[in-house]
Structure 1
Amino acid sequence: MTSNPTIARRGFLASSLAGAGALTIPGRSLAQACESELVINPLIFQRADPWVTRDGEGRYLFTASVPEYDRIILRRSDTLAGLSRAAEITLWHRPVSGRMGGHIWAPEIHQIGGRWCVYFAAGDADEVFRIRTYALACEGEDPMDDRWSVLGQLQAPWDSFCLDATSFQHRGTDYLCWAQHEPGIETNSNLYLAPLATPLTFAAPPLRLTVPTLDWEIQGYKVNEGPALLKHGDKLFLTYSASATDERYAVGMLTAHRDADLMDLASWAKSPVPVMTSAPDRCVFGPGHNSFTTDECGRDVMVFHARGYADIEGDPLYDPNRHTRVQHVRYDDQGIPVFNPPAGAGPLRYPSDV
């Protein structure tokens, strides 16, 4: 693993907190907060494209891309903070040759039809960037202890670059949202949405949700990827990431009403500006590819990756220091989520309006 001064700072911070006795956060004390542990950012080092969900017992499940791009990992913890030190297991390792033997990217764990599934993107051993979307399925009820096997390849509309599949349920229907290159459109990837018939097939033709056309979406690459759904009040918010994976990486957002037809493009409104961007004053660069969960109080939490520096040697894809961070989701007086500025290093603060 690449050494990083942030790790040393975190160790110093943790030891300082341990010896500080009762820690008081402005406006709250730990005794007043629901969390049993203080969350410290970065939460998990060298884990990009983080996905966090909670199981039926309220425990946190975490998976993400590893710097080697060679396997799918999983952690479980009773607390959000505990994910930082939770034991990490390997659910699946890429084969040494053939299909799925290339880059392994952006796993997400979901329960679909009562069964645990992991969506992930994989290249081939002899063509690592021939990225397609696949799924694993758990053969039992315990994702940490039971066996996992390859379920198959997503039956996407085209045999093309395809990644970042996420699933959500709304009004009794399971949906899949993913990123894919559509032949005939000069972009790297657009976002698509479809109801699921099975974890790998669709119940209706996909909807093209968004194409990267805005200036901030086409920096380095023309990319819309990494979708994640957040429900709040009477609205649905679908965040996504855009541009190259360096400090230009940023988060956008689509909004729909809860009662709208999600398969009607007119139901979705796209923000013309990014909703999360780099914050040099906080040493947060290239925030994105997020997921959403709740803390132990039931408050909405955004999980995302970012680097602590802007200068990268070589291809940013192979810089290992995209670290997992978390922050509470704030809402404005109209119920719209506010993600900027992204959380810097240190203890997670509690916004007064969460």
Structure 2
Amino acid sequence: MSHALRLLATAAMLLAASPVRDVPQHALLDSAPDPFVVAHGGWYYVVATRGDRLAIRRTRDLARLREADEKTVWQPPARGANARSIWAPELHRLNGRWYIYYTAADAEHDDDLHRGVFVLENRAADPLAGRWIDRGRVNTRLPGLDGTVFSARGRSWFVYSAYDGPDSVLAIAAMRNPWTLTGPERVIARPDRAWERQGGRQILEGPAFVRGPRGDLFLSYSGSACWSDGYAVGLLRARPDANLLDPGSWTKAARPILASSPSARVFAPGHNAFFQPRHGETWIVYHANKAAGQGCTARRAPHVARVRWSAAGAPEVPLTRRALPAPLRH
């Protein structure tokens, strides 16, 4: 083999082995608000708001997500506290079992005062198999939405967007089990920045957890009304040894880490989640509109980006390069 051919072959091998692939600037799906991705057992599992049900897509390659069947795994009852407005599902693997956290409202009162976070449990190894058991509503102090869970300092924590008067705030509590909170619940962030008050509402929602390379704890969140092009993703930070129930332990970034970018064709980005397909890789998934003024509709489409870490150890989301993680292996 000639030297030139060897160079070409080597380049091809390196390209095939690369965990990042450049892709055209397009969404994973045409419609999937509030996307959530988890990588487990050689698969990417993807859930998103469908409004009237909970459904999961599974693929080894996010570039082929459109080809994956979407399987409905749960439908709400006709009546009761979790019958309407099925929003913002998250799929978590906890203690060897699968859990879906989702927002729902009462059949008779589909409004914010009757909205809460509910939990389903599945003991099967595959979340597309087995039986989903209704574990009821998380016992939050306030009505709210967009619940998430994470582990830190040897225990599990629950964070959600709580309706506190005219504001939507972020509240945290420790967990006794995957569907029950224990001890005090504390508000750790309020919409006190101008960028968090766009669209006529004061809103913090869609919390998502990620641990930094130095062990710092980060909670991203979406600020402002989702129908505003000012909708964006902000960031809270706490030290690894911080008292997570103390609002003073959380420092808010001065500016959003992800905001509308006409050059990248990303408008009103928000409701993100983080996932790690491989050790040392952190990715973000979020929804966005493809043009200004499109509002808060089912047209919001999911995008992903590779997270990079600043010199200060904080997550950054570059939009100048679009990429996808490499396929997962069996």
The alignment's TM-score, normalised by the length of structure 1, stands at: 0.81
Correspondence 1:175 to 2:150: no
Check conservation: 2:232, 2:260, Cα contact below 8 A: yes
CA RMSD in angstroms, aligned pairs only: 2.5
C-alpha distance in structure 1 between counterparts of 2:176 and 2:183, whole Å: 8
Query: Structure 1's 294 and 232: CA in aligned 2 closer, same or farther, altered over 3 A?
Result: same
Q: CA deviation at 1:110?
A: 1.1
* One-letter identity of the residue aligned with 2:155: T
Q: CA deviation at 1:333?
A: 2.0
Check conservation: 2:305, 2:319, Cα contact below 8 A: no
Equivalent residue for 1:214, pick from 193, 202, 208: 193
Check conservation: 2:189, 2:247, Cα contact below 8 A: no
C-alpha distance in structure 1 between counterparts of 2:118 and 2:184, whole Å: 19
What secondary structure does 2:195 align onto? helix
The alignment's TM-score, normalised by the length of structure 2, stands at: 0.86
Query: Structure 1's 144 and 348: CA in aligned 2 closer, same or farther, altered over 3 A?
Result: closer
Equivalent residue for 2:265, pick from 275, 280, 283: 283
Query: Structure 1's 116 and 146: CA in aligned 2 closer, same or farther, altered over 3 A?
Result: same
Residues 104-113 or 330-339, more deviating = 330-339
- Aligned pair count reads 311
Correspondence 1:145 to 2:125: no
Name the counterpart of 2:311: 333
Query: Structure 1's 51 and 349: CA in aligned 2 closer, same or farther, altered over 3 A?
Result: closer
Name the counterpart of 1:4: none
Q: Percent identity?
A: 34
What secondary structure does 2:263 align onto? helix
Name the counterpart of 2:212: 232
C-alpha distance in structure 2 between counterparts of 1:240 and 1:298, whole Å: 23
Q: CA deviation at 1:150?
A: 1.4
C-alpha distance in structure 2 between counterparts of 1:58 and 1:259, whole Å: 33
Query: Structure 1's 289 and 153: CA in aligned 2 closer, same or farther, altered over 3 A?
Result: same
Name the counterpart of 2:238: 256
Name the counterpart of 2:225: 244
Q: CA deviation at 1:254?
A: 0.4
C-alpha distance in structure 1 between counterparts of 2:107 and 2:23, whole Å: 38
What secondary structure does 1:81 align onto? helix
- The unaligned stretches of length 5 or more in structure 1 are 1-21
Query: Structure 1's 29 and 74: CA in aligned 2 closer, same or farther, altered over 3 A?
Result: same
What secondary structure does 2:29 align onto? coil
Q: CA deviation at 1:38?
A: 6.4
C-alpha distance in structure 1 between counterparts of 2:61 and 2:189, whole Å: 35
Name the counterpart of 1:205: 184
Equivalent residue for 1:192, pick from 171, 175, 186: 171
Cα deviations by residue, 1:70-124 (Å, 9 ceiling, x for unpaired): 0111122223334342221111112233432211100001123332111101112
Q: CA deviation at 1:334?
A: 2.1
C-alpha distance in structure 1 between counterparts of 2:222 and 2:319, whole Å: 16
C-alpha distance in structure 2 between counterparts of 1:98 and 1:334, whole Å: 48
What secondary structure does 1:206 align onto? strand
Q: CA deviation at 1:60?
A: 1.6
Residues 218-227 or 124-133, more deviating = 124-133
Name the counterpart of 1:51: 36
Equivalent residue for 2:52, pick from 53, 70, 73: 70
Check conservation: 1:179, 1:225, Cα contact below 8 A: yes
- The unaligned stretches of length 5 or more in structure 2 are 1-8
Q: CA deviation at 1:32?
A: 4.2
C-alpha distance in structure 2 between counterparts of 1:299 and 1:52, whole Å: 14
Equivalent residue for 2:140, pick from 156, 181, 184: 156
C-alpha distance in structure 2 between counterparts of 1:101 and 1:260, whole Å: 38
Check conservation: 1:229, 1:292, Cα contact below 8 A: yes
* One-letter identity of the residue aligned with 2:317: F
Q: CA deviation at 1:54?
A: 2.0
